Amino acid sequence: MLIRHPQKNRELRQSTQAEQTPTAQQDVRATSVQRNAQTKPVDNASTQNRKLIRGYLYDQIDPLKAAAMGRDKLRVQIESLIRRICDDNRLQLSRQEEEAIAEEMLNEMIGIGPIQPLLHDDSVNDILVNGAGQVFVERYGKLELSPITFVDEEHVLNTAQRIAAAVGRRIDESHPMVDARLTDGSRVNVITYPLAIDGTSISIRKFMRRNMSLEILAERGALSMEMVEVLKRAMVAKLNIIVSGGTGAGKTTLLNALSQNISDEDRIITIEDAAELQLQQVHVVRLETRPVSAEGTGKVDQRDLVRNALRMRPDRIILGEVRGGECFDMLQAMNTGHDGSLCTVHANTPRDAIMRLENMVMMASMQLPLEAIRRQIASAVNLIVQVERMRDGGRRIVSITEVCGMENDVIQTQELFAFKTSSVDAQGRLVGQYIASGQRPHFYNAHAHLFEGH
Condensed to tens digits (0 to 9), the pLDDT of residues 195-214 reads: 999 999 999 998 877 778 99
Strand partners of residue 386 = 244, 399
Residue 409 sits at φ, ψ, to 5 deg, of -115, 25
Q: How far apart are CA 158 and CA 151, in angstroms?
A: 11
Q: How far apart are CA 281 and CA 264, in angstroms?
A: 5
Contact by Cβ (8 Å): 253, 342? no
- Residue 43 has a pLDDT of 53
71-89 helix and 44-60 helix, angle to the nearest 10 degrees: 120
By three-state DSSP, how is residue 298 classified?
coil
In which band, very low, low, confident or very high, does the pLDDT at 63 lie, cut at 50, 70 and 90?
Answer: low
Contact by Cβ (8 Å): 396, 388? yes
Q: How far apart are CA 78 and CA 48, in angstroms?
A: 18
Question: Distance of CA 164 to CAs 10, 54, 161, Å?
Answer: 23, 21, 5
- What the chain holds in terms of domains, given with CATH numbers, is 214-450 (3.40.50.300)
Residue of higher predicted confidence among 412 and 2: 412
State the pTM of this model.
0.76
Strand partners of residue 177 = 191
Convert the pLDDT of each residue in 88-97 to its tens digit. 888 877 788 8
* Mean pLDDT (whole number) for 312-331: 93
Q: How far apart are CA 119 and CA 138, in angstroms?
A: 12
Reply yes or no on whether the pLDDT at 313 is more than 80: yes
